[in-house]
Homo-oligomer: A and B are copies of this chain.
């Protein structure tokens, strides 16, 4: 099954808004066995919308349209698409009442302007909008579909998930695929490939993609209908990963590392505190993005100055003098110091040179030491990252969370 995406909105073509909608739709369709061959972005202009739709219906069986369903005068998508399909717009009392109720629940009067959103094409199939006022629309012609969805990402994603995907699944049972994502960190894309390359040959019917991020490489495996019920084969595939890269895989369900670490601590009813230097609060920001983190995360210190490292983290003056602030010895004392300061099971520390300035004769930009103290154990690790400040912070934060995971699970990588 072939699909095409049409994104509508001047803000997209003036560069004010990144078109994350198109990416989300493409990803959802791809992970449901539907290929997207083209994606078009057009202005809020009836002629442009109709031309794009005509072209899309020539080369795709399914057209997904987003944007321009709002109540203001520049939202013309519904009118343009209805004209293209020769459908009159009619007022639907049921939709109008549903909108009124939505405003009532929010405790604000419904603006008169929203009334226009209760007009839909006659005999239209309407898709429910669980989080907004604009209903979605389905048009069918000659075995082809056009789905019209709002441009507000929250509304579009809900409608895609609740209405579009289930309908496509029903229309095309053979499109059914299974998607597995193995998240890795601490190993380069090319290194993963080298390790498993030969054994991948037995899995040529799997679509295997290496998706690099600053914090690691995601391995995405898509199995089509002919393969997905062969559990024995997939078990063999997993054992290939197990043999070669098990220690680098921290999640198999798109969970981020900070959440994986949080789950480990929750299971053990243990706690963590963090001492950051070059990462400057980023690790704790990530940890506290997880709802419920207050159960295991006690707090921490950002110690940019040596003085703060001594006073709040009990790093010895001697250690700083003999080894410098960027050293494995200081990383170790920082991790133990924060563990003691907050009386936690786990202490995590980072020290390094984020760049782009600050290098010394012996300490280049991107040099980072990570420390982990877990009960009475202490472990440190050295990294040499690049020259970009924010990327170095991201990588150091991920490396610190990963070392903590490995120490808790007694993994030796």
Residues of chain A having any CB pair with chain B under 8 Å: 12-20, 22-31, 35-43, 48, 52, 55, 209, 211, 220, 274, 276, 278-285, 287-289, 291-294, 297-305, 308, 312, 341-342, 354-358, 389-390, 393
Contacts and interface: CB of A to CB of B under 8 A. Distances in A.
Q: Say what secondary structure dominates the interface of chain A.
A: mixed
B19 A24 contact: no
Contact of A289 (B14, B23, B305, B390): B390
8 contacts: A15-B36, A280-B287, A281-B302, A285-B285, A288-B393, A291-B357, A298-B308, A300-B302
A119 B288 CA distance: 51
Contacts of A17: 23
Given A281-B283, A281-B302, A288-B281, A28 B15 contact: yes
A20 B291 CA distance: 29
Nearest 5 CB-CB pairings of A with B: A15-B27, A280-B288, A281-B284, A281-B281, A15-B26
Given A22-B41, A280-B287, A294-B304, 8 more contacts: A13-B26, A18-B20, A37-B48, A38-B41, A280-B293, A284-B302, A299-B302, A308-B342
A40 B40 contact: yes
B38 A42 contact: yes
A30 B14 contact: yes
A294 B298 CA distance: 25
Contacts of A38: 13, 40-43, 48, 52
A369 to B, nearest CB: 17
A27 B13 CA distance: 8
A57 to B, nearest CB: 15
Nearest to A294: B304
B23 A39 contact: no
A22 B14 CA distance: 10
Given A42-B38, A356-B291, A19 B22 contact: yes
Given A302-B281, A308-B342, A13 B36 contact: yes
Nearest to A303: B299
Contact of A39 (B24, B41, B279, B299): B41
A247 B118 CA distance: 40
A292 B13 contact: no
Contact of A23 (B15, B29, B300, B357): B15
Contacts of A285: 279-282, 285, 393
